[in-house]
Amino acid sequence: MKRITHFSLLATVLVAILLAPALSLQGQDEGQPEKDTRPVKNMFESIWLLDNQTVIVPIQGTVEWDFQHRFGTVTNGYDDFYGIFAPSNIRLGLNYVPIENLMLGFGFTKERKMWDFQAKYAILRQGRSGGSPVSLTYLGVAGLDSRDKKSTQYEEGTDRWSYFNQLMVARKLNDRISLQVSGSLSYFNYADHVYGPEGEFLGRMKNTHYAMSVLLRGRLNNVISIITSYDFPLTNHDVNDPDPSLAFGLEMVSSSHAFQIFLGNYKGIVPQINNVKNLNSDFLIGFNITRLWNL
């Protein structure tokens, strides 16, 4: 029932996004000036918003660098200074846009020694006053867990691979507010076997996992925005059923940098790990830094 309620809510939001431009056209005269179909500016300031990617693909020839950091949870309070001195997770990433609308990249994450390889393609871009009413982007990620075999349950080399596919729909509602709704499919070649405290076998997770997310950005001025996201699973697992995630924070930008600091529940950083392995709903402090260069 929980999954159905979440899906119904998200479907309502998505319909509202898609209907908004059509409703705004009612009552307009045929004698209006020609529509401007150029892509809207600054729908989002970065390819990342909190723990999710956005529909944004930088211009052709852009090199984009990611630094993402997740501290420990705030549960222990002052003992580890609200997670800042607790074990953390870090990802370094590098992306390049070789042709218009296509971004290719890779990254390495501390936890699981995870290598990720990604491709992102902007299928549609919202027009300024004409053209497409929304932006539509596809993201595909392949992840390789490179930990020593003794630290895993893997039996074959192919067991180490996992995959993430996501379709993102976004609309800049006005000069200050942008909204994105996404659906995703994660697939793990190896489904985790779960054991109890006495070593008894409890069951195995599913290989395939569906999830959805909602992102919202509200621009306060040309530099600072309020950002928030909600991610929730649609697939029920018999064991280790993953928790949803809520995140909220601030974004500060310049012409080539974006810095986001926030509270959230996700620590895995790699999207399929976040969606399937999130078993702790405690909050943690995180930040993202991105840097752009145009070649």
In DSSP notation, the chain reads -HHHHHHHHHHHHHHHHHHHHHHHTTT--TTSPPP--SBPS-S-SSSEETTEE-S--PPTTEEEEEEEEEEEEGGGGGGGTTTTTS--EEEEEEEEEEETTEEEEEEEETGGGEEEEEEEEEEE-BBSSSSBSSEEEEEEEEEEE-S-GGGS---SGGGGEEEEEEEEEEEE-SSSEEEEEEEEEEEESSPPEEE-TTS-EEEE--SEEEEEEEEEEEESSSSEEEEEEEEEE-S--SSSPPPPEEEEEEEEE-SSEEEEEEEES----SHHHHHHH------EEEEEEEEEEE-
Residue 28 has pLDDT above 60, yes or no: no
Tell me the pLDDT tens digit for each residue of 183-194. 999 999 999 999
Residue 4 has pLDDT above 70, yes or no: no
Domain count of the fold of the chain: 1
Q: Which two tokens stand for residue 290?
A: 């991105």
Per-residue CA distances from 256 to 28, 53, 252, 270, 289 (Å): 38, 17, 11, 23, 11
169 in a structural domain:
yes
Tell me the pLDDT tens digit for each residue of 86-131. 999 999 999 999 999 999 999 999 999 999 999 999 999 999 988 9
Task: State the CB neighbour count (10 A cutoff) for residue 276.
Answer: 27
| Residue 241, domain CATH | 2.40.160.40
User: Measured between alpha carbons, how far is 236 from 166 in angstroms, rounded to an integer?
Assistant: 19
pLDDT at residue 280, as a whole number = 75
Cβ-contact 105, 64 below 8 angstroms: yes
43 in a structural domain:
no
User: Widest CA span of the chain, in angstroms?
Assistant: 76
241 in a structural domain:
yes
Cβ-contact 116, 109 below 8 angstroms: yes
Question: How many helices (H) and strands (E) in the chain?
Answer: 2, 16
Tell me the pLDDT tens digit for each residue of 133-181. 999 999 999 999 999 988 888 989 999 999 999 999 999 999 999 999 9
Write out the residue range of the structural domain in which residue 268 sits.
2-19+60-294
Cβ-contact 60, 100 below 8 angstroms: yes
pLDDT grade, residue 275 (50/70/90)?
very high
pLDDT at residue 8, as a whole number = 63
Residue 29 has pLDDT above 90, yes or no: no
How far from the centroid of its chain's Cα atoms is residue 252's Cα? Answer: 18
Per-residue pLDDT, averaged over 264-279, amounts to 95
pLDDT at residue 255, as a whole number = 87
The residues pairing with 249 across neighbouring beta strands, listed in sequence order, are 227, 262
209 in a structural domain:
yes
Which position has the higher pLDDT, 32 or 45?
45
Tell me the pLDDT tens digit for each residue of 224-241. 999 999 999 999 999 999
50 in a structural domain:
no
55 in a structural domain:
no
pLDDT at residue 35, as a whole number = 85
- Model-level pTM? 0.91
pLDDT grade, residue 199 (50/70/90)?
confident
Q: Please state which of the ranges 6-20, 178-192, 280-294 shows the lowest mean pLDDT.
A: 6-20
Report the chain's mean pLDDT, rounded to a whole number: 91
25 in a structural domain:
no
How far from the centroid of its chain's Cα atoms is residue 286's Cα? Answer: 14
Query: How large a percentage of the chain has pLDDT more than 90?
Result: 79
230 in a structural domain:
yes
Cβ-contact 141, 271 below 8 angstroms: yes
pLDDT at residue 34, as a whole number = 77
With vertex at residue 243, the alpha carbon angle to CA 241 and CA 244, rounded to the nearest 5 degrees, is 140
